[in-house]
Structure 1
Amino acid sequence: MPKEISFLEISELNPVLIDVRSGREYLADHIPGAFNVPLLNDLERAEVGIVYKQHGASKAKMLALNMVSPKLPEMIETIKGLADGKPVVVYCWRGGLRSYSIASVLSIMGISVFRLEGGYKKFRKQVTQFFEDSVNNVLVVNIHGLAGTGKTEVIRELINLRAPAVDLERLADHRGSVFGHIGLTSQPTQKAFETRLFYALANLTRASCCILECESRRIGKLLLPITLQKAMQSGKNILIYDTLENRARRLVEEYTRSGLETLAQTHQALAGLKDRLGIAKVKSIQNMIQQGNLVEAAKLLLTDYYDPLYKYPNQPSPDYELCINNCNAEETARIICHHLKITLKNN
């Protein structure tokens, strides 16, 4: 009988994780790094569920066995190839029949295999427990600034410097504004986002602080855990600023990396601003973009839409413990690191 292993023990084993849930379950959320080798596909799982409700567990198990049996040899070969000699940890929804059956066959075939105790359900509980308990003790340092000041660039430079920073926009696949989806892939599910965030923050539990770009609770369709938002509200605040010209050029560079598809998405997003900016101004911006006057279009968006919306100062302000003119993201990141090293040491 395959042994069970807890989630906390996985890092010590360095195994290959195999998620035997259906493709839809896997896409909704999974343990990062896990490979999906489904015992039942989405349609098969639904069919087994119907038989279970109408005729009971015995007939549902027999149907599942008939579905799985022809696939077993190929599944075993797939898992052996993925494992490449490493131990295997198999999990399903709650550590039940699906993971037990495939782990048993792997064990018979001489493969070193474990079952994840409690399956995905228990892993998910650990994620939610982390946000309920551990996040309350995190000192958050918020990076504030108007659109185009380069906040995300600074966060990424901080990460390059191995500072305790987390790129929320990268985890959410969204830049947090009406144009935030442009040029990016679709956003993860809420559960998948929380899993990404859990891994990012859990790696910083021994750090003296966590540096984040200041965001509202909503990033696109996703929500930050309420405990993290509260930690951000009570944290330290740093402001970065820059000239309108530099900010506009940053926006153009950021939003035009994906070519014509990006421009089409921009036109669509602009159409949603007609109530706020008026039809004439939206058409004017769209015409500028069509004619290639991208920097001028960005300036107009900044002065008439973004700046009134976010209301951050674009110059030093006594409301922030540190204010930096962000001409160079790497230098700004170094200044922040130096400042935090001194202030946190004194505290």
Structure 2
Amino acid sequence: MKYPAVLNFDEILPQLDQFDTIIDARSESEFALDHLPGAINCPVLNDEERILVGTTYKQVNAFEAKKIGAPLVARNIAHHIETLWQDKPRDWKPLVYCWRGGNRSGSMAHILAKVGWPVVQLDGGYKAYRAYVAAALENPAPVPFRVICGTTGSGKSRLLETLAGIGAQVLDLERLAAHRGSVLGNLPDEPQPSQKRFESLIWDTLRKFDMSKPVFVESESKKVGNLRVPDAVMAMMRSSPCVSLMLSRANRVRLLIEDYDHFMKDPALLNAQLDHLVQLHGREKIGAWHELANTGRMAELVDQLLVDHYDPAYLRSIDRNFLRFGDAQVLEMSDIGKDDFIKAAHTLHGA
């Protein structure tokens, strides 16, 4: 094969996990929004340089833009080779892409090929990859989901984490979305990814599964924080067999206090989130909940939130949205220790 080889994503996908390095030649802000699985960011033009070249292209002409861009591109590629790839052997096989498979990835692929490496360039770039992922999520292959249902605090996320730890196939949408899926679900110091990144993570997770075995997933709503679960994936989840996870309310309160420790330590942060519930519960009740938070009566507050907010919302939605919940396998847990979740996970994984 002649290098650089320019291949479309359909040709690359079967060997995607076999490349030694996947190189995203776009700027750092483009990379942050989304990128191919496992890619590293090695900008041919960084954000500032890309703006300079683009402005020159629009305000002057393409020739002047290329005169400015060429030395920047050359210096940046040289820097990446010197600092990242100087020790790579002759058979090191990288995949390179940019936005549309044009000059940025083409320049890098050309130089890497001249060194002697068997480099592959993605034809159509990230844009072609993104089109593939969008199409795959619009019409996904059937996934044998088993949906873990249960009221807030029943340990669904802990059970998914434990299932993954014993080797079960798990699609943990809340982990991928960096959000716990409720009004109190945002994670401190961990912003949610972009919608495109979220979809890439879902696609990449699903593509690695053996579809002859169950895939465990939580009974999410259509949105996890600010991110939307792809419609076709959600439709499959809602028509799949269910597991009803049961835990006493006292244990659910304990579990939530453990899992939401950051709120328990910062009443002001908790109260700011509770303010989002004013339209549902009125200022008087929210004020009473503020008082419980401010005086450290967290167990009482969590219990009231379960009784007055979370449980009624769950009961209103679960039968309507998950069609097979009426026939769900019931899984009762007596406590919230690590061994309790391991036992529950083995019960499901062995079923």
**TM bracket, shorter-chain basis:** 0.7 to 0.9
2:140 aligned with 1:134, yes or no? yes
CA shift in 2, pair 1:82/1:4, >3 Å: farther
CA distance in structure 1 between the aligned counterparts of 2:274 and 2:87, rounded to whole angstroms: 46
Corresponding residue of 2:321: none
The residue type equivalent to 1:321 in the other structure is A
2:320 aligned with 1:320, yes or no? no
CA shift in 2, pair 1:12/1:201, >3 Å: closer
- Structure 1's unaligned 5+ residue stretches are 340-347
Identify which range, 62-71 or 192-201, moves more after superposition: 62-71
2:310 aligned with 1:303, yes or no? no
Task: Answer whether contact 1:172 1:187 (CA < 8 A) is retained.
Answer: yes
Task: Answer whether contact 1:177 1:220 (CA < 8 A) is retained.
Answer: yes
CA distance in structure 2 between the aligned counterparts of 1:263 and 1:185, rounded to whole angstroms: 19
Question: How do 1:145-164 and structure 2 match up within 5 A?
Answer: 145-164=150-169
CA distance in structure 2 between the aligned counterparts of 1:228 and 1:193, rounded to whole angstroms: 13
The residue type equivalent to 2:99 in the other structure is W
Corresponding residue of 2:337: none
Identify which range, 13-22 or 285-294, moves more after superposition: 285-294
The residue type equivalent to 1:199 in the other structure is D
Corresponding residue of 1:345: none
Question: What SS class does the counterpart of residue 192 from structure 2 fall into?
Answer: coil
2:226 aligned with 1:221, yes or no? yes
Corresponding residue of 2:242: 237
2:25 aligned with 1:13, yes or no? no
State the Cα deviation string for residues 96-118 of structure 1 (Å, max 9, x = none).
Answer: 11111112222333444322233
The residue type equivalent to 1:179 in the other structure is L
- How far apart are residue 128 of structure 1 and its match? 1.4
Q: How many residues align?
A: 335
TM-score (norm 1): 0.88
CA shift in 2, pair 1:154/1:13, >3 Å: closer
State the Cα deviation string for residues 241-278 of structure 1 (Å, max 9, x = none).
Answer: 21111001111100105874x54431210122223223
State the Cα deviation string for residues 41-70 of structure 1 (Å, max 9, x = none).
Answer: 112212322333344433332221143334
CA distance in structure 2 between the aligned counterparts of 1:264 and 1:33, rounded to whole angstroms: 38
Question: How do 1:6-45 and structure 2 match up within 5 A?
Answer: 6-11=11-16, 13-45=18-50
2:9 aligned with 1:4, yes or no? no
CA shift in 2, pair 1:258/1:10, >3 Å: farther
Corresponding residue of 1:172: 177
Let me know the Cα RMSD of the aligned residues. Answer: 2.5
Task: Answer whether contact 2:19 2:94 (CA < 8 A) is retained.
Answer: no
Task: Answer whether contact 1:18 1:34 (CA < 8 A) is retained.
Answer: yes
Task: Answer whether contact 2:145 2:217 (CA < 8 A) is retained.
Answer: yes
Query: Identity rate of aligned residues, in percent?
Result: 33
Question: What SS class does the counterpart of residue 30 from structure 1 fall into?
Answer: coil
Identify which range, 237-246 or 249-258, moves more after superposition: 249-258
Corresponding residue of 1:67: 72
Task: Answer whether contact 1:167 1:213 (CA < 8 A) is retained.
Answer: yes
Corresponding residue of 1:191: 196
Question: What SS class does the counterpart of residue 333 from structure 1 fall into?
Answer: helix
Task: Answer whether contact 2:154 2:252 (CA < 8 A) is retained.
Answer: yes
CA distance in structure 1 between the aligned counterparts of 2:151 and 2:64, rounded to whole angstroms: 61
CA distance in structure 1 between the aligned counterparts of 2:231 and 2:4, rounded to whole angstroms: 39
Task: Answer whether contact 1:143 1:211 (CA < 8 A) is retained.
Answer: yes
Question: What SS class does the counterpart of residue 300 from structure 1 fall into?
Answer: helix
State the Cα deviation string for residues 194-226 of structure 1 (Å, max 9, x = none).
Answer: 011011111114333322101111111100111
Identify which range, 323-332 or 92-101, moves more after superposition: 323-332
- Structure 2's unaligned 5+ residue stretches are 319-323, 335-339
Task: Answer whether contact 2:241 2:325 (CA < 8 A) is retained.
Answer: no
Task: Answer whether contact 1:237 1:321 (CA < 8 A) is retained.
Answer: yes
State the Cα deviation string for residues 289-347 of structure 1 (Å, max 9, x = none).
Answer: 23322212111111111111111799xx98133112123222222222233xxxxxxxx
CA shift in 2, pair 1:207/1:62, >3 Å: farther
CA shift in 2, pair 1:220/1:205, >3 Å: same
Corresponding residue of 1:344: none
Question: How do 1:256-275 and structure 2 match up within 5 A?
Answer: 256-257=261-262, 260=265, 263-275=267-279
2:323 aligned with 1:331, yes or no? no
CA shift in 2, pair 1:91/1:267, >3 Å: same
TM-score (norm 2): 0.87
